[in-house]
Amino acid sequence: MGMIQIAIVIVLLVLLVKPLGSYIYHIFSNQPNRTDRIFGPVEKVLFAIIGVKNRSEMTWKKYALTLVLTNIVLVAFGFIILAIQKGLPLNPNGIENMEPTLIFNTVISFMANTNLQHYSGETGLSYLSQMVVIMMMMFTSAATGIVVAIAFIRGITSKGTTLGNFFVDFVKAHTRLLIPIAIIITLVLVAFKVPQTLDPTIQATTLEGETQQIATGPVASLVSIKHLGTNGGGFFGANSSHPFENPSPLTNVIEILSMWCIPAALTYTFGRFANNRKQGWIIFGAMGILFVLFLSLAYYSESAGNPAMNALGMDASQGSMEGKEVRFGIPQSTLFTTVTTAATTGSVNNMHDTLTPLGGMVPLALMMLNCVFGGDGVGLVNMLMYAILGVFLAGLMVGRTPEFLGRKIEAREMKLIAIAILAHPLIILAPSAIAFLTDLGQGAISNPGFHGISQVIYEYTSSAANNGSGFEGLGDNTPFWNITTGIVMLLGRYISIIALLGVAGSLVRKQWVPETIGTFRTDNKLFMGILIGTVLIIGALTFLPVLALGPIAEYLTIR
Angle, helices 357-369 vs 450-464, to 10°: value is 30
pLDDT of 251 over the 90 cut: yes
Residue pair 344/522 in contact by the 8 Å Cβ criterion: no
Beta strands in 173-330 (DSSP E): 202-205, 211-214
- Mean pLDDT to the nearest integer, 178-189: 97
Q: Tell me, what's the pLDDT at 294?
A: 97
Fill in the DSSP letter of residue 99.
Answer: P
Q: Tell me, what's the pLDDT at 314?
A: 67
Q: Calculate the alpha carbon distances from 169 to 14, 57, 124, 551 in Å.
A: 26, 11, 33, 41
* Confidence at 394, pLDDT banded by 50, 70, 90: confident
Q: Which residues contact 386 (CB under 8 A, 6 or more apart)?
A: 371, 531, 534, 535, 538
**Alpha-carbon dihedral 410, 412, 415, 416, rounded to 10 degrees:** -120
Report the SS3 class of residue 270: helix
Residue pair 245/235 in contact by the 8 Å Cβ criterion: yes
Q: Residue ranges of the domains in the chain?
A: 2-205+212-273
H or E element in which residue 340 lies: helix 329-342
Q: Tell me, what's the pLDDT at 471?
A: 87
Query: Any idea which of 189-203, 485-499, 530-544 has the lowest mean pLDDT?
Result: 189-203
Residues 7-37: pLDDT tens digits?
999 999 999 999 999 999 999 998 888 889 9
Rounded to 5 degrees, φ, ψ at 119 are -140, 170
Residue pair 374/382 in contact by the 8 Å Cβ criterion: yes
Q: Residue 213's beta-bridge partner residues?
A: 203
Q: Tell me, what's the pLDDT at 448?
A: 80
What is the distance of C-alpha 211 from the center of its chain?
Answer: 39
Residue pair 151/158 in contact by the 8 Å Cβ criterion: no
Residues 280-336: pLDDT tens digits?
999 999 999 999 999 999 999 999 988 777 777 765 667 889 899 999 999 999 999
- Percent of all residues in the chain with a pLDDT value above 70, rounded to a whole number: 99
Residue pair 229/260 in contact by the 8 Å Cβ criterion: no
pLDDT of 377 over the 90 cut: yes
Cα distance between residue 165 and residue 144, in whole Å: 13
Query: How many Cα neighbours within 13 Å face the side chain of 172?
Result: 21
* Confidence at 122, pLDDT banded by 50, 70, 90: confident
* Confidence at 253, pLDDT banded by 50, 70, 90: very high
Query: Any idea which of 154-168, 217-231, 396-410, 536-550 has the lowest mean pLDDT?
Result: 396-410
Q: What is the model's pTM?
A: 0.94
Name the residue among 202, 200, 263 with its Cα closest to residue 228.
263
Residues 215-238: pLDDT tens digits?
888 999 999 999 999 998 888 888
Cα distance between residue 150 and residue 497, in whole Å: 12
Cα distance between residue 479 and residue 62, in whole Å: 35
Name the residue among 287, 414, 380 with its Cα closest to residue 338.
287
- Mean pLDDT to the nearest integer, 536-541: 95
Q: Tell me, what's the pLDDT at 315?
A: 57
Q: Tell me, what's the pLDDT at 1?
A: 73
Average pLDDT over the chain, rounded to an integer:
92
What is the distance of C-alpha 313 from the center of its chain?
Answer: 39
- Mean pLDDT to the nearest integer, 448-471: 93
Q: Tell me, what's the pLDDT at 401?
A: 73
Identity of the amino acid at 284: F
Q: Tell me, what's the pLDDT at 316?
A: 60
